[in-house]
């Protein structure tokens, strides 16, 4: 009689490979109480069922949304130590609600940053046709190709601003192209 492939147990190396993690990560998850082998082989090897893959993917997902392994360990312990199922669920719900609030704040910040990047890209789209006669420092006050002085998007304007020390150190500011003109030897 053949063994059902659904019930085939995985050694720790095979499990690690299946989830794209290291064997050390599997051992760490076990040390933290987040993963348990289903059984051990006669030789003492850890053997895991297919449900271990789901468990590790759950851990990976929690880490992707910002939970540390110690936070995951903590709320798993809190869940398990609750006096009742409703209490356990309420504990986890509170943790997830707090995480959701933080994620929403991050999303709002990321939307603002994305808008800043899009504005800079739109502004910079016309710069590829700019004359090589201009030095990079002139970009800060550009009034070419539909640009207006002082209206560069903040992300780009920050690049073009020079400190007083930088201005003093560069008394001469010409584009490299001007230094290598034919006939100016």
4-26 pLDDT per residue, tens = 554 689 999 999 999 999 999 99
- Taking a C-beta distance cutoff of 8 angstroms, is the pair 174, 135 a contact? yes
pLDDT digits (tens, 9 = 90+) for 103-129: 999 999 999 999 999 998 988 888 878
Q: Do 67 and 9 share a structural domain?
A: yes
Question: Is residue 85 predicted with pLDDT exceeding 80?
Answer: yes
pLDDT for 8 equals 86
pLDDT for 7 equals 64
Q: Do 77 and 1 share a structural domain?
A: yes
Kindly state the tokens that stand for 150. 């002082």
- Residue 121 inside a domain? The answer is no
Which residues, listed in sequence order, are joined to residue 10 by a DSSP beta bridge? 48
Q: Which of 52, 81, 110 is a domain's end point? A: 81
**Structural domain containing residue 134:** 126-179
- Residue 162 inside a domain? The answer is yes
- Residue 109 inside a domain? The answer is no
Would strands 10-11 and 39-40 be described as parallel, antiparallel, or unpaired?
unpaired
Q: Do 77 and 136 share a structural domain?
A: no
CATH code of the domain containing 38: 1.10.1660.10
- Residue 159 inside a domain? The answer is yes
- Residue 148 inside a domain? The answer is yes
Number of compact structural domains in the chain: 2
- Residue 67 inside a domain? The answer is yes
Q: Do 2 and 65 share a structural domain?
A: yes
Q: Which of 44, 60, 81 is a domain's end point? A: 81
Q: Which of 49, 65, 81 is a domain's end point? A: 81
Over range 40-51, report the average pLDDT.
90
**Going by C-beta distance under 8 Å and a sequence separation of 6 or more, which residues neighbour residue 13?**
23
- Residue 119 inside a domain? The answer is no
Give the rounded percent of residues in the chain with a pLDDT score beyond 90.
55
- Helical packing angle, 69-81 and 51-64, nearest 10°: 120
């Amino acid at each position: 009689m053949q063994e059902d492939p659904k019930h085939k147990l995985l050694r720790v190396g095979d499990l690690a490979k299946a989830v794209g993690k290291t064997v050390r990560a599997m051992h760490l998850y076990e040390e933290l109480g987040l993963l348990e082998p289903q059984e051990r082989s006669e030789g003492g090897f850890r053997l895991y069922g297919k449900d271990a893959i789901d468990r590790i993917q759950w851990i990976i997902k929690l880490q992707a949304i910002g939970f540390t392994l110690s936070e995951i360990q903590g709320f798993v312990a809190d869940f398990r130590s609750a006096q009742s199922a409703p209490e356990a669920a309420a504990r986890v719900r509170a943790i997830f609600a707090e995480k959701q609030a933080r994620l929403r704040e991050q999303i709002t910040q990321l939307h603002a940053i994305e808008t800043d990047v899009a504005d800079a890209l739109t502004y910079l789209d016309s710069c590829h046709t700019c004359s090589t006669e201009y030095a990079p420092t002139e970009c800060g006050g550009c009034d070419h190709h539909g640009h207006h002085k002082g209206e560069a998007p903040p992300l780009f304007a920050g690049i073009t601003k020079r400190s007083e020390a930088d201005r003093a150190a560069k008394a001469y500011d010409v584009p490299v192209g001007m230094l290598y003109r034919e006939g100016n030897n």
